Structure 1
Amino acid sequence: DPGFLSGKSLQVDLVTKYEVEQANWFIRSMRAIGYFFSGMWNSAVDIVKG
């Protein structure tokens, strides 16, 4: 039954064994800045390598 074609959706209740905490905004910002500079560095290295 392709219910997704008629607009019906499925719902599943999910129970986990452990609660996963999300990092706060400061940590997420620092990670994003780190990923940005890491990507820039890797791009520069790739350009130099040829």
Structure 2
Amino acid sequence: MVLHGPCMALNAGALWRICKSQTQIWHGYIRGGWLHQIVVIEDAEEMKLRSLYH
């Protein structure tokens, strides 16, 4: 599965991808080639306050 838009890994070994589309930031957790969950956070500042590694 491909998440469209400018995407980047949080680090080299991470399965998390951040894809920013205009004002939305998409979090996709990909494991085994399948998208398990995706969360849309419209506020980038809110995203910065969240821990991605609970």
TM-score normalised by length of structure 2? 0.18
More helix by share: 1
TM-score normalised by length of structure 1? 0.19
* Higher RCO (C-alpha 8 Å, min separation 6): 2
